Amino acid sequence: MSRGRGSTKPGHTGPSQRQLRVGEEIRHALADILRRGDFRDPGLQDVNVTVTEVRVSPDLKNATAFVMPLGGGHPEVIAALNHAAPFFRAQIAHAVRLQHAPRIGFQEDTSFAYADRIDRLLHDPAVARDITRDLDAEGVPLERGGAENDEDGGEADGDLDARDVPDLDGGDREGRRGA
């Protein structure tokens, strides 16, 4: 029996509990280091950066920190953070108890822009019209179809009767009943 982690779908395993825990510890340590702001790099002076997530590889040797510079995206801040990655690795080695400090790479977090785009799409008048068209005054979805009977004249209750079941063996159904 295999001991899979994450999703039950084959090939779609999520991060392990250890990866999530280590990622969160590194995120807190990075946030503390960035809050202190004792950098030599002039590209990082007086820059406010939010660390939104840290993803750690399964072997815990590599980490990707998703950051968002406050006040909008600044590609030079991401480049400066990646340039100072060895400094952050050394600081994390002191702050987080791990056998090996992971190599850190920084990427801009685009999830906020994506969420904003989805929000704008949902509030678009054409989309809002399609969403609310099928709702009554209280916001409850209306019944679709409205017909009580299906096309055979039977009830639309989802139950199958004998005429709905296909004859898979090719025999004459009426002839076998002993009519």
Amino acid at the residue 129: R
pLDDT tens for the chain, residues 1 to 179: 444 444 445 665 788 888 999 999 999 999 998 888 888 887 787 788 889 999 999 999 999 999 988 876 677 888 889 999 999 999 999 998 888 889 999 998 888 788 888 888 888 887 777 766 666 667 676 676 554 444 544 445 555 555 555 555 555 555 444 44
Identity of the amino acid at 43? G
Residue 42, phi then psi, degrees to nearest 5:
-65, -20
Confidence (pLDDT) at 90: 92
Question: What are the E-state strand segments in 25-157?
Answer: 49-56, 62-69, 103-108
- What CA–CA distance (Å, rounded) separates 37 from 48? 9
138-155 pLDDT, tens per residue?
A: 767 667 655 444 454 444
Which residue in 132, 136, 134, 109 sits closest to 122, CA to CA?
132
